[in-house]
């Protein structure tokens, strides 16, 4: 290769593009492998080239600066090029590079996940904040920050089907990022039509949103995860956790998907308000997705807290405060939750008692049979629908009667996996949930004919009682009375009415249509609507004349109405209280300025409803006592035996009251155990109130958090020119921009009718109304790319003119004559670019270094600098230029070397701590497995199992130990890569600014 005079750090032309040679390797037989880095700022930034067969690189002229006054530029143009370039450089350190450019009114707590991620070798985290804190915003801020630092280019968002459109809209509205939904085969086909044949959308699209249910299919998963993603975000991530009890844990399709997502991502962000269900194995499985070696729950209390805090961040609404006038105030108003008892007539009360007794008796009679579990599920469905509305109960009974009458042609039961998902109450679409419930009702048929006849007789009696009741449903009448009471107090109030069932929704709709005060003043949301229909109906609810939103649980996903509504009424109490919290979160969330008012309807005469009412009251009381609501909800959701006992509760039995008391006591006992054993760990996961103060102190900025960057606004407007950017009348901070031809490229529009550079304006306007231009915007990237070309591509342009890399300014007489040399410095390590720096080295005429690079940035700010005569420049600098340049180069190299060494030392210290923690984590996990194995063997010995079972157990534990060691090796490799900081390559010269004091410029 020496015959071509190509060495490292030389500049060449290959494939009609300029590159710098970063590495030269001799292969064999005169072949060489060159690693090239693009000089023009366009993708790809790195290119491997084999010579031959590739073309022979053509050397470019030196990029060194020379004293050639034809290269003089105006001070404004010269400084603008430097400043726009500096605005887009990659930074490894510094508090925020990209998160501050979200289209949101930032709160300090929203930045904590981003700061946690930046401190990790592999940026992965479980964000388990309370419902309504804005986990989507937190994830978007983290994504912007990683993008700004050059660590993320491809992003995959995995969400429940009903949340995909919400994610797409929020990422566009809040962060200006256009994601494409690929949630089913039709979406995939539509995306494929926009790409060349043979190119997979999963490989080509940079930003994709998909659904958990679609991605869990093996064929889809194999294609979607074939090419590694830089960042994967999973919403409702508790769906990925192991299910079952500690005695019978099992991995679902979603659990296996979780492992595949971890392996297919460079960074993983898991979002859930309920990270556990009270079972350590389920919580462990989520921690393993973040960092497997942290999933150890034995060892010292300090180690346990460190592991959880490293893997997870978790804050409750009550902890979130903002600084105002030197003090702190809560960000979230305290809500009020109250029950509304629904009185029943004698016949109505008897009906509910008959349903309760029928369900209890049928479930008990099925115990010990093959269909026990299925029948138990069916009776749970009947009870729940009876407590919702008469129409829901009637539909359910008629379905069950039809199935019992045709027992010989019973419907096929749901698969074991479907039943597990239904039991775990995992995120299912409304149609999936209703279909599964109907199949359970029509397939859970007793094989014993006597039991079938008995059940038919009971159901016919209930059906007859139901038909004899008056037309109007007591619960729906109570709902209308409450609505009229609310609107009488304040006609401007809006109310969201939630129900679990479409049957109940239709019954409420029919009753409201018959009421002249409410008809035509409501809108409906349910799972059968398209994405567009949901959005249109949500927009209708914002209109003053629409007072009521009737919604099923499908609308509780991704519906943010805190700016328009503060009231929620639950028609029935869900048996999974987490659904109640998800519904409440539609109004009790970030941005709510008024007290949320939550009401729920219940039957005080129903033992089942009375138990649920007591649980809700206990949850609210515990939340006031500083116990996390989502924690308790997760605990309840995981205790399936509680719901089995609720099914067995018999309203007609003499011990119904004692049965109710027993269920409430069981809940209280398990909650107390949870608070004692696991809650302290979860509170240690970044939930301290001091953390928010530390973030605010680190930012050291008054409210509003991170004010508008007006200097950036002036810079871009100045570069575009007065003719290109004109203020929009009567709207401060908004401009009409006609982009000059030279900056129109990929992602850059020709005209922006309304654009702003101010986050305060962007946060209160929509993307379709006002474009938000930040250093991450394509237009700014185009300006920076042009600046790179002007300063770094040093050969003449197409008109034969030399690059304009020199400028001059007059400085106060108190200053000494000097030259300010600018350099682009890079520091690499950990497999990529860590930092880029615009270095400003000022050199006096005697070759002495003046000031630090940080101080010298002030000379880049243009002002009325005055004209410097060329004769003065020649007199002062012509004979000294090369010596001054080399002195500046040496200082720039020393600065980069010091900076690299500081980074190296910092990472070395971090790596040492990480290795020590890793050894403790692995040691404790292996001890934990030893204890689990001893316990398992003891159980086998006590039951007299055959040795075969012991061998199987031994094989299982041996495999688990091997997995721990594999994780240790992977983690060790990550730490080793993280620790690496390379010696920086020579800084690249950008330009020189001659600083001429007054008096010398004559």
Is it true that the peptide bond before 52 is cis, omega within 30 degrees of 0? yes
| Most confident among 46-55, 168-177, 650-659, 896-905 (mean pLDDT) | 896-905
Q: Which DSSP string do the residues of 684-753 spell out, in sequence order?
A: TTT--HHHHHHHHHHHT-PSSSS---HHHHHHHHHHH-TTTEEEPTT-TTEEEEE--GGG--TT--SEEE
The separation between CA 573 and the C-alpha centre of its own chain, rounded to angstroms, equals 29
Report pLDDT for 92.
Answer: 54
Q: What's the pLDDT band for 96 if we cut at 50, 70, 90? A: low
Span 894-908, average pLDDT: 94
Residue 771, CA distances (Å) to 84, 100, 757 in order: 19, 16, 9
Span 582-592, average pLDDT: 85
CA atoms within 13 A on the CB side of 483: 27
Supply angle C-alpha 350, 355, 357, rounded to 5: 90
More reliable by pLDDT, 531 or 869: 869
Q: Is 156 helix (H, G, I), strand (E, B) or coil?
A: strand
Report pLDDT for 623.
Answer: 63
Report pLDDT for 797.
Answer: 59
pLDDT in tens, 824-850: 999 988 777 888 899 999 999 999 999
pLDDT in tens, 164-174: 988 998 898 88
Alpha-carbon span 861 to 858, nearest angstrom: 6
Q: In sequence order, what are the residues at sequence separation of 6 or more whose Cβ sits closer than 8 angstroms to the Cβ of residue 847? A: 883, 884, 887
pLDDT in tens, 459-516: 999 999 999 998 899 999 999 999 999 999 999 999 999 999 999 999 999 999 999 9
Report pLDDT for 432.
Answer: 76
Report pLDDT for 700.
Answer: 42
The torsion angle over the Cα atoms of residues 354, 357, 360 and 365, rounded to 10 degrees, is: -100
Report pLDDT for 201.
Answer: 95
Q: What's the pLDDT band for 952 if we cut at 50, 70, 90? A: very low
Report pLDDT for 214.
Answer: 94
pLDDT in tens, 213-242: 899 999 999 999 999 999 999 998 988 988
Sheet containing strand 11-14, edge to edge, reads 46-51, 32-38, 17-26, 11-14, 58-59
Under a CB-based contact definition with an 8 Å cutoff, are residues 277 and 637 in contact? yes
Global pTM reads: 0.82
| Most confident among 61-70, 582-591, 868-877 (mean pLDDT) | 868-877
Q: What's the pLDDT band for 333 if we cut at 50, 70, 90? A: confident
Alpha-carbon span 358 to 455, nearest angstrom: 8
Report pLDDT for 41.
Answer: 60
pLDDT in tens, 383-405: 999 999 999 999 999 988 988 88
Sign (positive or negative) of CA dihedral 564, 567, 572, 573: positive
Report the mean per-residue pLDDT for the chain: 84
Report pLDDT for 42.
Answer: 55
| Most confident among 347-356, 664-673, 786-795 (mean pLDDT) | 347-356
Span 927-934, average pLDDT: 86
pLDDT in tens, 262-283: 999 999 999 998 887 667 778 8
Sheet containing strand 725-727, edge to edge, reads 725-727, 734-738, 751-756, 771-772
Q: What's the pLDDT band for 581 if we cut at 50, 70, 90? A: confident
Residue 794: phi, psi to the nearest 5? -95, 0
> Residue 685 pLDDT > 70, yes or no?
no
Report pLDDT for 471.
Answer: 85
> Residue 95 pLDDT > 60, yes or no?
no
pLDDT in tens, 954-978: 447 888 889 899 999 999 999 999 9
The first and second tokens of residue 642, run together, are 């509680």
Question: How do 597-602 and 567-570 pair as beta strands?
Answer: parallel
Helices 430-443 and 390-405, axial angle in degrees (round to 10): 40
Alpha-carbon span 501 to 574, nearest angstrom: 11
pLDDT in tens, 593-626: 889 999 999 999 888 888 888 888 877 776 655 5
pLDDT in tens, 365-384: 988 888 888 888 899 999 99
Q: What's the pLDDT band for 139 if we cut at 50, 70, 90? A: very high
Sheet containing strand 988-997, edge to edge, reads 806-811, 988-997, 818-829, 832-844, 849-850
pLDDT in tens, 617-663: 877 776 655 555 445 444 444 455 666 777 888 777 766 777 777 77
Report pLDDT for 127.
Answer: 93
> Residue 687 pLDDT > 50, yes or no?
no
């Amino acid at each position: 290769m020496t015959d071509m005079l190509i060495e490292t750090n030389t500049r060449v032309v290959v494939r009609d593009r300029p590159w710098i040679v970063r590495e030269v390797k001799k292969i064999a037989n005169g072949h060489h492998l060159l690693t090239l880095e693009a000089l023009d700022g366009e993708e790809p930034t790195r290119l491997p080239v084999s010579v031959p067969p590739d073309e022979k690189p053509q050397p470019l002229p030196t990029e060194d600066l020379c004293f050639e006054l034809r290269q003089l530029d105006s001070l404004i143009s010269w400084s603008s090029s430097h400043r726009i370039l500096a605005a887009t450089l990659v930074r490894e350190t510094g508090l925020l590079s990209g998160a501050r450019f979200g289209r949101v009114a930032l709160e300090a707590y929203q930045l904590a996940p981003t700061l946690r991620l930046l401190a990790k070798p592999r940026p992965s985290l479980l964000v388990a904040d309370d419902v309504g804190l804005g986990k989507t915003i937190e994830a978007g801020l983290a994504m912007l920050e990683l993008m700004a630092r050059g660590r993320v280019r491809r992003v995959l968002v995995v969400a429940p089907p009903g949340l995909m459109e919400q994610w797409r809209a929020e990422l566009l509205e809040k962060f200006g990022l256009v994601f494409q939904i690929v949630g089913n085969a039709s979406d995939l086909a539509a995306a494929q039509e926009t790409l060349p044949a043979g190119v997979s959308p999963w490989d080509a699209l940079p930003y994709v949103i998909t659904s958990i249910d679609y991605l869990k299919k093996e064929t889809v998963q194999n294609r979607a995860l074939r090419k590694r993603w830089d960042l994967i975000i999973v919403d409702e991530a508790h769906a990925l956790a192991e299910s079952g009890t500690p005695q019978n844990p099992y991995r679902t399709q979603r659990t296996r998907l979780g492992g595949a997502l971890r392996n297919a991502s460079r960074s993983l962000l898991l979002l859930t308000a309920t990270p556990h269900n009270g079972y350590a194995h389920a919580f462990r499985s989520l921690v393993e997705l973040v960092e497997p070696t942290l999933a150890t729950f034995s060892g010292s209390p300090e180690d346990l807290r460190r592991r959880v805090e490293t893997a997870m961040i978790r804050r409750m609404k009550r902890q979130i405060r903002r600084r105002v006038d030197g003090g702190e105030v809560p960000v979230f108003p305290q809500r009020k939750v109250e029950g509304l008892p629904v009185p029943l007539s004698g016949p109505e009360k008897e009906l509910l008692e008959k349903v309760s007794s029928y369900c209890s008796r049928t479930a008990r009679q099925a115990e010990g049979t093959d269909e026990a579990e299925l029948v138990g599920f069916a009776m749970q469905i009947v009870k729940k629908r009876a407590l919702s509305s008469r129409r829901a109960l009637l539909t359910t009974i008629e379905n069950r009667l039809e199935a019992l009458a045709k027992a010989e042609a019973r419907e096929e039961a749901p698969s074991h996996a479907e039943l597990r998902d239904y039991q775990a109450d995992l995120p299912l679409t409304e149609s999936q949930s209703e279909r599964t419930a109907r199949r359970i009702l029509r397939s859970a048929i007793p094989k014993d004919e006597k039991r079938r006849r008995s059940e038919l007789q009971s159901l016919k009696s209930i059906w007859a009682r139901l038909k004899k009741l008056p037309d109007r449903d007591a619960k729906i009448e109570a709902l209308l009375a409450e609505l009229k009471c609310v609107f009488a107090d304040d006609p401007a109030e809006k109310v969201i009415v939630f129900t679990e069932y479409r049957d109940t929704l239709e019954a409420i709709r029919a009753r409201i249509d018959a009421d002249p005060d409410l008809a035509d003043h409501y809108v409906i949301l349910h799972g059968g609507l398209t994405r567009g229909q949901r959005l249109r109906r949500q927009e209708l609810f914002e209109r003053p004349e629409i007072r009521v939103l009737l919604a099923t649980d499908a609308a509780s996903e991704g519906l943010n109405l805190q700016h328009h509504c503060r009231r929620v009424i639950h028609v029935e109490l869900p048996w999974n209280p987490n659904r109640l919290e998800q519904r409440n979160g539609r109004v009790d969330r970030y941005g709510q300025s008024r007290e949320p008012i939550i009401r729920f309807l219940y039957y005080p005469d129903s033992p089942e409803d009375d138990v649920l009412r007591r649980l809700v009251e206990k949850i609210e009381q515990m939340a006031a006592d500083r116990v996390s609501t989502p924690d308790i909800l997760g605990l309840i959701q995981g205790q399936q035996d509680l719901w089995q006992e609720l099914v067995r509760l018999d309203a007609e039995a003499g011990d119904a009251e004692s049965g109710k008391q027993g269920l409430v006591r069981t809940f209280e006992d398990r909650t107390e155990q949870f608070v004692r054993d696991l809650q302290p760990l979860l509170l240690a996961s970044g939930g301290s109130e001091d953390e928010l103060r530390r973030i605010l102190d680190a930012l050291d900025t008054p409210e509003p958090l991170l004010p508008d960057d007006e200097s950036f606004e002036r810079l871009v407007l100045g570069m575009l020119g007065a003719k290109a950017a004109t203020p929009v009348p009567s709207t401060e901070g908004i401009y009409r921009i006609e982009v000059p031809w030279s900056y129109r490229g990929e992602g850059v529009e020709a005209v922006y009718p309304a654009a702003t550079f101010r986050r305060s304006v962007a946060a209160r306007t929509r993307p379709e109304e006002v474009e938000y231009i930040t250093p991450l915007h394509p237009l700014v990237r185009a300006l920076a790319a042009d600046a790179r070309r002007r300063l770094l591509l040093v050969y003449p342009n197409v008109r034969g003119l030399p690059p304009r890399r020199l400028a001059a300014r007059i400085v106060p007489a108190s200053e000494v004559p000097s030259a300010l040399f600018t350099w682009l410095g890079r520091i690499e390590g950990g497999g990529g670019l860590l930092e880029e720096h615009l270095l400003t080295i000022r050199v006096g005429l005697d070759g002495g270094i003046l000031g630090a690079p940080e101080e010298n940035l002030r000379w880049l700010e243009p002002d009325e600098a005055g004209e410097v005569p060329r004769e003065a420049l020649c007199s002062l600098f012509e004979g000294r230029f090369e010596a001054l340049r080399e002195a500046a180069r040496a200082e720039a190299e020393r600065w980069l070397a010091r900076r690299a060494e500081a980074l190296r030392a910092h990472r070395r210290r971090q790596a040492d701590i990480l290795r020590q923690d890793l050894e403790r984590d692995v040691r404790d996990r292996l001890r934990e497995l030893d204890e689990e194995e001893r316990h398992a063997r003891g159980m086998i010995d006590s039951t007299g199992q055959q040795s075969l079972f012991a061998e199987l157990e031994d094989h299982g534990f041996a495999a688990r130990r091997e997995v721990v060691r594999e994780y240790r090796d992977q983690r060790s490799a990550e730490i080793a890569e993280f620790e690496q900081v390379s010696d920086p390559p020579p800084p690249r010269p950008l330009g020189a600014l001659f600083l001429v004091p007054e008096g010398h410029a004559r």
